[in-house]
Amino acid sequence: MNYELLSTFVIASAALAIAPGPDNIYVLTQSIANGKKFGLATTIGLVSGCLVHTTLLAFGVSAIIKESDQIFFAIKLFGALYLFYLAYKVFKSDAHLILSSGKVPQKGLLALFKQGFIMNVLNPKVTIFFLAFFPGFLFSDSLHHIIQFYVLGLLFMLVTLIIFGLIALLSGSISNYIKAHANLGLTMKWLQIVVFVGIGLFVLISNK
In the chain, where are the structural domains located? 3-95+122-205
What digits encode the pLDDT tens for the residues 64-106? 777 777 888 888 888 889 989 989 988 888 767 666 545 666 7
Q: DSSP H helical segments within the chain, as ranges?
A: 3-18, 22-34, 36-67, 69-92, 109-121, 124-133, 145-169, 171-180, 184-205
d(CA 31, CA 206): 39
CB-CB contact of 139 with 67 (8 Å): no
Q: CA separation (Å) from 23 to 65, 71, 146, 192?
A: 31, 32, 27, 14
Walk along the chain (208 residues) and give the pLDDT tens digit of each residue.
888 999 999 999 999 899 888 888 889 988 888 889 999 999 999 999 999 999 999 998 877 777 777 888 888 888 889 989 989 988 888 767 666 545 666 778 899 999 999 989 988 888 889 988 998 898 998 899 899 999 999 999 999 999 999 999 998 888 787 777 777 778 888 888 888 898 889 888 876 5
Q: What are phi and psi of 35, to 5 degrees?
A: 120, 160
* Single pTM value for the model: 0.85
